[in-house]
């Protein structure tokens, strides 16, 4: 069946019908399409192209269709290739030939561009709320267990001790940037292409700004060619979602390691783990693993979509039909991943002792000892060498820096030819001071700068994060 095209004398080949059909995917735009159509009808009325009775009848018909879509009772016809043709045909079936006036001054090109922007806007709002939920989960865990001490890593090697809350707040920072990117994308997406027609603009005096205001857009697009072919907002949203998934994947990776008994830092709740079909002992963090895996699919969706765009001339091309599957799937994946990761984080059990033991390994407080020497007047590079000798001595003796004897410390100092070090070598209180500087608690306190892991700084950061989150709706 052809809804359009009096120039054709034959039916479309069934293989073409099947190949071009998108209703299974783009029916997700139904409510957006109906909202756009209602605004367009009112615009036609303002332009004198419909009388009051026609506007009222069309609006009532669209409202009835909306109720059917929301109730899930609308029967979709696979013979009508997309959501737009389905809804227009359903409207005609309900109110008669008047429904055929709905498409006056409108093309499916500006119609789908409008629908997709409306969909993107409400989807971004939902994702923003989900990101906030994830942030609240992280901050809640930080408030509950944040004074636990974690071995901070670089190169996957022990580096410096950090508070667990400090580590969690790093992900909160990432998620805040995700929110910023989503908001920025929403701003650029929130302009109306309706009234651009197929590519040259509508052939009637439509008030585009009026329909834009009715639909909640901030304004209208400036060029009709760009209006119908622009999918930058789709690429931006895919990028924001892909990077958000990368952030979740990084946290998922850490949770899988932390929950391994060899580390034992956390234990995932039974509700967020699965067993093995063969091994009775297994407790697998499958949700985290799947988030990690699905991040790859979302990244692939972004790359694939950019490849789709790169060769398209102006204006609309049917290739753009393929924008919706990757976008819809990526956004759904991100939303679901945020939900499951928030639940996982909220229910993590933390083993503080296991964390502290690990933080004590690998001489993670060596930098704090070097800093202590610097505060006594030793150049940092020389302090680095002195503490390197202390680390080598502790490694040879199989002890911690806090367990080194006075003689070993004095000997390491004596090897230096730096005048500041030589001046300290005879201080009988210095070995004890360096051993104190090598404790986990002292090392944490020493990182007392904005953004540092000193307990007072982290406590303030948690308070600020909670206040911000409590001040945001959703």
Would you please indicate which residues are annotated as catalytic (active-site) residues?
Answer: 155, 276
Q: Which structure tokens are listed for 131? A: 């990101």
- 116: phi then psi, degrees, rounded to nearest 5: -70, -35
Dist. CA 133–CA 229, nearest whole Å:
35
Dist. CA 154–CA 121, nearest whole Å:
39
Q: How far is CA 181 from CA 124, 127, 169, 188, 197, in A?
A: 10, 11, 19, 11, 30
Q: What is the DSSP letter of 13?
A: P
Q: What is the DSSP letter of 75?
A: P
Strands (E), 130-244: 149-154, 157-163, 191-192, 219-220
DSSP readout, 317-334?
A: -GGGGGGHHHHHHHHHHH
Which residue from 396, 309, 324 is spatially nearest to 82, judged by alpha carbons?
324
**Residue 267 belongs to what H/E stretch?**
strand 266-267
DSSP alpha helix (H) spans, 347-454: 352-360, 366-375, 380-397, 406-414, 419-424, 430-437, 440-446
Q: Which residues pair with 154 in a beta bridge?
A: 157
Q: Which structure tokens are listed for 181? A: 């990117």
Dihedral in degrees, nearest 10, Cα atoms 401, 404, 407, 410: 10
Cβ distance 130 to 338 under 8 Å?
yes
> In this structure, how many other beta carbons lie within 10 angstroms of the beta carbon of residue 90?
22
Q: Which structure tokens are listed for 217? A: 């857009």
Cβ distance 200 to 109 under 8 Å?
no
């Amino acid at each position: 069946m052809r809804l359009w095209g009096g120039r054709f004398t034959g039916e479309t080949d069934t293989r073409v019908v099947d190949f071009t059909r998108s209703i299974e995917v783009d029916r997700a735009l139904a409510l957006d399409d109906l909202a756009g159509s209602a605004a367009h009808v009112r615009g036609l009325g303002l332009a004198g192209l419909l009388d009051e009775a026609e506007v009222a009848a069309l609006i009532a018909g669209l409202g009835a269709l909306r109720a059917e879509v929301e109730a899930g009772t609308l029967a979709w016809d696979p013979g009508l290739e997309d959501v737009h043709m389905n809804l227009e045909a359903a409207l005609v079936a309900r109110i008669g030939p008047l429904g055929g006036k709905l498409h006056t001054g409108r093309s499916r090109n500006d119609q789908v561009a409008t629908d997709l922007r409306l969909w993107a806007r409400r989807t971004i709002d939902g994702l923003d709320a989900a990101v906030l939920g994830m942030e609240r989960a992280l901050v809640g865990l930080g408030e509950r267990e944040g004074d636990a001490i974690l071995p901070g890593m670089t190169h996957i090697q022990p580096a410096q001790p950090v508070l667990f809350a400090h580590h969690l707040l790093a992900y909160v920072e990432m998620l805040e940037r995700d929110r910023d990117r989503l908001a920025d994308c929403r701003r650029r997406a929130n302009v109306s292409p309706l009234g651009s027609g197929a590519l040259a603009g509508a052939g009637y005096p439509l008030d585009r700004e009026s329909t834009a205001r009715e639909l909640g857009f901030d304004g209208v697009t400036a060029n009709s060619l760009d209006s119908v072919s622009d999918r930058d907002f789709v690429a931006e949203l895919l990028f924001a979602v892909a990077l958000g998934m990368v952030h979740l994947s990084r946290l998922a990776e850490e949770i899988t390691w932390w929950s391994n008994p060899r580390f034992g830092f956390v234990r995932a709740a039974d509700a967020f783990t699965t067993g093995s079909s063969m091994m009775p002992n297994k407790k697998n963090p499958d949700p985290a693993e799947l988030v990690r895996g699905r991040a790859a699919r979302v990244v692939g969706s972004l790359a694939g979509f950019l490849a789709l765009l790169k060769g398209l001339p102006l204006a609309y091309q049917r290739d753009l039909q393929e924008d919706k599957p990757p976008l819809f799937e990526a956004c759904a994946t991100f939303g679901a991943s945020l939900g499951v990761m928030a639940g996982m984080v909220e229910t993590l059990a933390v083993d503080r002792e296991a964390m502290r033991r690990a933080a004590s390994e690998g001489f993670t407080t060596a930098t704090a000892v070097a800093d202590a020497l610097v505060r006594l007047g030793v150049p940092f590079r020389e302090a680095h060498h002195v503490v390197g000798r202390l680390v080598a001595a502790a490694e040879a003796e199989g002890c911690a820096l806090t367990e080194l004897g006075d003689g070993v410390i004095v000997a390491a100092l004596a090897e230096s030819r730096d005048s500041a070090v030589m001046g300290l070598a005879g201080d009988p209180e210095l070995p004890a001071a360096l051993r104190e500087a090598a404790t986990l608690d002292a090392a944490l306190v020493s990182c007392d700068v904005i953004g540092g892991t000193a307990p007072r700084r982290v406590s303030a950061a948690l308070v600020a994060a909670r206040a911000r989150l409590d001040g945001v709706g959703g």
